[in-house]
Amino acid sequence: MKHFLSLNDIDSLPNLVEDAIALKKSPYQFDALGKNKTICLLFFNNSLRTRLSTQKAALHLGMQVLIMNFGKEGWTLEFGDGTVMNHSTSEHIKEAARVVSQYCDILAIRAFAGLQNKKTDEAEEVLRGFRKYASVPVVNMESSTAHPLQALADAITMEENKTKAKPKIVLSWAPHPKALPHAVANSFVSMIKMQHAEFVITHPKGYELNPEITHGCQIEYDQAKALEQADFVYVKNWSSYSNYGKVLHQDSNWMMTQEKLGKAKFMHCLPVRRNVVVEDAVLDGPQSLTTEQANNRTFSVQIVLKKILESL
Amino acid sequence: MKHFLSLNDIDSLPNLVEDAIALKKSPYQFDALGKNKTICLLFFNNSLRTRLSTQKAALHLGMQVLIMNFGKEGWTLEFGDGTVMNHSTSEHIKEAARVVSQYCDILAIRAFAGLQNKKTDEAEEVLRGFRKYASVPVVNMESSTAHPLQALADAITMEENKTKAKPKIVLSWAPHPKALPHAVANSFVSMIKMQHAEFVITHPKGYELNPEITHGCQIEYDQAKALEQADFVYVKNWSSYSNYGKVLHQDSNWMMTQEKLGKAKFMHCLPVRRNVVVEDAVLDGPQSLTTEQANNRTFSVQIVLKKILESL
Amino acid sequence: MKHFLSLNDIDSLPNLVEDAIALKKSPYQFDALGKNKTICLLFFNNSLRTRLSTQKAALHLGMQVLIMNFGKEGWTLEFGDGTVMNHSTSEHIKEAARVVSQYCDILAIRAFAGLQNKKTDEAEEVLRGFRKYASVPVVNMESSTAHPLQALADAITMEENKTKAKPKIVLSWAPHPKALPHAVANSFVSMIKMQHAEFVITHPKGYELNPEITHGCQIEYDQAKALEQADFVYVKNWSSYSNYGKVLHQDSNWMMTQEKLGKAKFMHCLPVRRNVVVEDAVLDGPQSLTTEQANNRTFSVQIVLKKILESL
């Protein structure tokens, strides 16, 4: 693997999931692989799971870790070509990417969608800027439109918990007081499309995801109908895509409850707002896989770093 | 040792102090103990000594260290049971604690008193929240009501510097422009009560500490009288406990001076406001143990981490 | 080497450059030297290159690294002698320096000029404060008046790229919208004065650097004339020294262009404002050495740390 920007950088998802599960059994077995190798984590946004799990994975592989909170500790970046930089930005992505590449062997980047401008967000200027100008492999720790490491952790979690060859998986929109990006939902959909599964997406009208991503997927506006006989229910809020970045409404009828869940396993990437997105009974009950999803974040990033280290 | 939330988690203070002093002579002697073990430090408040000494201690033991400035780099936590999280908090302590436990073997937490509400502070919701929901041992790096690692460092420092079997120790309140928590004073009192010592607490009326903690201690409102024949004088400001979190006055007559100190050793946990809490002559003179107290912070946390690692 | 506060702490610049170039060929060859040694990096200002390259260098030497963003994560420092600290500062440099020295073997500090008060900046109270009260070696990661690690990286870069024994080197002022410190220019001048080179400084009238530093240097107000036959052109903005910290004007005629550069190599310490300080064509062209300068930051600090470790 050269870079890991999206799930498209994976050769075979089932093989990668299998390798990650093997790694999880003995996390330090490849700790010689990262000796004298350094990963630099650049955060343009806050992070808890990603920050800790990526460090942990790198340490499992024997790597050294450098961390920058870019906005707070570094300089404001310019992305425009040919810009006369006499305003607020003080360093160009070209220099930043070339320079950071001097200090590490792998570069991992988190930069969320601004949700103000669809075109800007879809241009992924931070992630693609580093990809374009960096001289080392780049890993996506959640960008404007994708969170492939989360999707990979979710795939691992489903593989470990499925009880039939072709489970029914439902992605169910949930209400939320703030406008959230589409990255997690996008990557989840892309990941499921690589799986052997029955898949339904359910959300209120107006909350359709990018049709290029959901192309070929079953969309069901009746949540109850979508949830029938589900094996895994993945709950997530996202803002409107067509009315870009807007919270159209926060219909609390869409909150996930134990009753709606039935016998399905519950999944969410966290952080989650209790009793808004999902009720306490689900999160605190035995059907919730959220803690295990978080645990698998370590092994999703570790298998990706391992593949990249092997190709250096 | 399973957790280290307060001095009550110690079996025998004299034995622990003795072990810490032995460790100090050869800090890296147990560096195999922490191999492939990770400690995660969560800071809800600023820190200098605690941040650096805890890292140093973990590195002495061969551990890996992850650090989060929680408020600045992560998500705002919710502590209420059953709360409908449609306001400012974005992650519940239940998830945060369960998740962080996936990435480390020991969890260390700093969360100061807010000094707005005695009940909330005494509930210790951050520390106890993590203790309740984490699946790994929790270490207190200063909570609302206690700073046991500081008290342990103070005990080590007194053991190294005492010249008689039963020294006279005085805890003397000092003026300060800001309202400060009671954590350091509380833990100092609790620690001294485990020692063979003559102990006097002195402060102006109105600055009485929590009577449950000072129960059985001699309280003397006349500072001069309290300081007579003292061997160790521990100076510290704290805000009012009865009139919770208030600065009643900043009587500069209570500042510690070389003249008042006499032949006693001077102690303070730092940071200290010079010429407000204590005059320059004391801090810069040979009777000050403050630098050595800071040095012993490393060994107080190291001995605690060692005991926890041994019980994993 | 005991401390590294300025280039004056170097015995022989040519020898140090030669050693750094040898180190670069095999960066991990001295990784046993730093075993069980800790460096603490204290940042009073933002940093990208310095933060990452210093960590990388320390890791190359097998050291452990502690990092503090002082203002954001620690306490506000007091520098005055005898100050009654009943205002905003909460810890004195005396305590901070003595305490931090307990947790590390080398202390590295970044603290920029405030550019409000020449006397205060030239007093270098942060750097000199730590130097005075710390009990461990101190390294300057850019102070009010000097950035010797940058100058050393520049010397390494010129040594690697020079094609004649006595090259012509030009330091050329550039326009910039913000008032910038003199530290980089000062150290560059001091470094060149230790070299076998023809050296010209060019800038508009009013932008003269500290005459104590440029004493003996050729100053040419005509940029075109200064650039004739140059081998290396080092471009940098700085604010006025005589009218301290002021931006007198931002004459865009002083921007470096490919045409002006001719056949010379282009150098800049970064971050750089494109099309204000220098045009895109130069930075993106083959004559730019900026990425290599950034790379050499690692080896400049590594050779300094190595010398200090050897003298511990």
Does the residue A1 lie in any domain?
A: no
CATH number of the structural domain spanning residue C280: 3.40.50.1370
**With 0-12 CB in 10 A as exposed, 13-18 as middle and 19+ as buried, what is B81?**
exposed
pLDDT at res. C217: 98
Contact between residue C227 and residue C172 where contact means Cβ atoms under 8 Å apart: yes
Put simply, the answer to whether B272 touches C92 (Cβ < 8 Å) is yes
DSSP string for residues in B1-39: ---BSSGGG-S-HHHHHHHHHHHHHSTTTTTTTTTT-EE
User: How many Å apart are CA A223 and CA B22, to the nearest integer?
Assistant: 65
User: Tokens 């208030």 label which residue?
Assistant: B246
CA distance C74 to C69: 7
In the structure, what pLDDT confidence band is assigned to residue A46 with cuts at 50, 70 and 90?
Answer: confident
Strand order across the beta sheet in which A168-173 lies: A218-220, A198-202, A168-173, A232-236, A265-267
Task: Render pLDDT for A81-131 as a digit per residue (tens, 0 to 9).
Answer: 999 999 889 999 999 999 999 999 999 999 999 999 999 999 999 999 999
Closest residue, chain C, to B71 (C-alpha): C73
Minimum-distance CB partner of B49 among C72, C99, C104: C99
The string of DSSP letters for A68-112 reads EEHHHHS--EE--TT----SS--EEHHHHHHHHGGG-SEEEEE--
Whether C165 and C278 map to the same domain: the answer is: yes
Is C196 annotated as a binding-site member?
A: no
Q: How confident is the model at residue B302 (pLDDT cuts 50, 70, 90)?
A: very high
Instruction: Identify from C44, C48, C289 which residue to disrupt to test chain A contact, counting A C-beta atoms within 10 A and taking the largest count.
Output: C48
Residue A73 has pLDDT above 80, yes or no: no
Share above pLDDT 90 across residues of chain B, in percent, rounded to a whole number: 96
Beta-strand relationship, A168-173 and A232-236: parallel
Q: Which stretches does DSSP call E strand in chain C?
A: 38-43, 64-69, 77-78, 91-92, 106-110, 138-140, 168-173, 198-202, 218-220, 232-236, 265-267
CA distance C161 to chain B (A): 40
The SS3 call for residue B175 is coil
What ipTM is given for this predicted complex? 0.95
Mark residue B115 as left, alpha or beta (left: phi above 0; alpha: psi -120 to 50; beta: remaining). Answer: left
Residues C131 and C159 occupy one common structural domain: no
* Residue C302 and residue C275 in one domain: no
Q: What tokens does B128 get? A: 């106890």
Assess if residue C279 is contained within a domain: yes
pLDDT for B221-243, tens place per residue? Answer: 999 999 999 999 999 999 999 99
Q: Which residues contact A215 (CB under 8 A, 6 or more apart)?
A: none
> Can you say which residues of B are annotated as belonging to the binding site for carbamoyl phosphate?
47-50, 75, 110, 147-150, 269-270, 297
Measured CA to CA, the distance from residue B50 to residue B44 in angstroms comes to 12
pLDDT band at A312 (very low <50, low <70, confident <90, very high): very high
Residue B1 lies in a domain: no
Average model confidence (pLDDT) across chain A: 96
Residues contacting B241, CB < 8 A, separation 6+: B118, B182, B207, B208, B209, B210
Q: What is the pLDDT of residues B176-193, one digit of tens each?
A: 999 999 999 999 999 999
Q: Compute φ and ψ for A282, nearest 5 degrees.
A: -70, -50
- How many whole angstroms separate alpha carbon B139 and alpha carbon B42? 10
**Rg of chain A, C-alpha, whole Å:** 19
Question: Of C177, C225, C178, which is closest to residue C203 (Cα–Cα)?
Answer: C225
Residue A259 within a domain: yes
Mean pLDDT (whole number) for A235-253: 96
Q: How far apart are CA A173 and CA A202, in angstroms?
A: 6
Q: In this structure, are A230 and A180 located in the same domain?
A: yes
Give CA–CA dist A115/A90, Å, rounded.
23
Q: Are residues B190 and B276 in the same domain?
A: yes
CB atoms inside a 10 Å sphere around CB A221: 13
Q: What is the largest CA-CA distance in chain C?
A: 60
For residue B182, being part of any structural domain is answered with yes
Write the CA distances from B222 to A48, B207, B226, B235, integer angstroms: 50, 13, 6, 15
Query: Using 50, 70 and 90 to split pLDDT, how confident is the model at C72?
Result: confident
Provide the residue range defining the domain that includes C20: 7-146+297-310
Cα distances (angstroms) measured from residue A114 to each of A181, A183, C201: 8, 12, 45
Decide if pLDDT at C73 tops 80: no
Query: Do B232 and B305 belong together in one domain?
Result: no
Strands (E), chain A: 38-43, 64-69, 77-78, 91-92, 106-110, 138-140, 168-173, 198-202, 218-220, 232-236, 265-267
Residue type (1 letter), A211: P
CB contact under 8 A, C274 and A98: no
Q: Annotation-wise, does C300 bind a ligand?
A: no
CA C265 to chain centre: 20
Say yes or no: A71 and A142 in one domain. yes
Reduced to 3 states, what is the DSSP secondary structure of residue A125?
helix
Instruction: Give strand ranges (E) for C176-268.
Output: 198-202, 218-220, 232-236, 265-267
Instruction: Closest CB to A40: pick one of C52, C177, C294.
Output: C52
Q: How confident is the model at residue B70 (pLDDT cuts 50, 70, 90)?
A: confident
C123 and C247 belong to one structural domain: no
Mean pLDDT on B266-273? 97
Nearest CA in chain C to A135: C291
Helix (H, G, I), strand (E, B) or coil at B103: helix
Confidence category of residue A44, pLDDT binned at 50, 70, 90 = very high
| Domain assignment present for C90 | yes
A interface with B, Cβ–Cβ below 8 Å: 28, 43, 46-49, 51-53, 55-56, 59, 69, 72, 177, 250, 270-276, 280, 283-284, 290-291, 294-295, 297-298
Q: Specify the pLDDT at position C127.
A: 97
* Chain C residues inside the 8 Å CB shell of B294: 98-99, 102
Residues B301, B267 within the same domain = no
On average, the pLDDT of chain C sits at 96
| Whether residues C55 and C108 fall in one domain | yes
CB atoms C280 and A82 under 8 Å: yes
**B142 and B182, same domain (yes or no):** no
How many domains would you assign to chain B?
2
Which pLDDT score, from 0 to 100, does residue C139 have?
Answer: 98
Q: In percent, how much of chain C has pLDDT > 90?
A: 96
Q: Do A64 and C69 touch (CB under 8 A)?
A: no
C240 inside domain: yes
Mean pLDDT for C200-205 is: 98
Residues of chain A in contact with residue C274, where contact means CB-CB under 8 angstroms, are 78, 83-85, 92, 94
For residue A167, pLDDT over 90 is answered with yes
**Cα separation, B311 vs B95, whole angstroms:** 25
Considering only CB atoms, which chain A residues are within 8 Å of B98? Answer: 290-291, 294
What's the CA gap between A115 and A181, in Å, rounded? 7
pLDDT band at A70 (very low <50, low <70, confident <90, very high): confident
Least Cα distance to B129 among B143, B149, B114 occurs for B143
Q: What is the mean pLDDT of chain B?
A: 96
> What was the pLDDT predicted at C209?
98
Q: What pLDDT, in 10s, does the model give residues B46-55?
A: 889 999 999 9
Domain match, B112 and B175 both: no
Task: Render pLDDT for B122-143 as a digit per residue (tens, 0 to 9).
Answer: 999 999 999 999 999 999 999 9
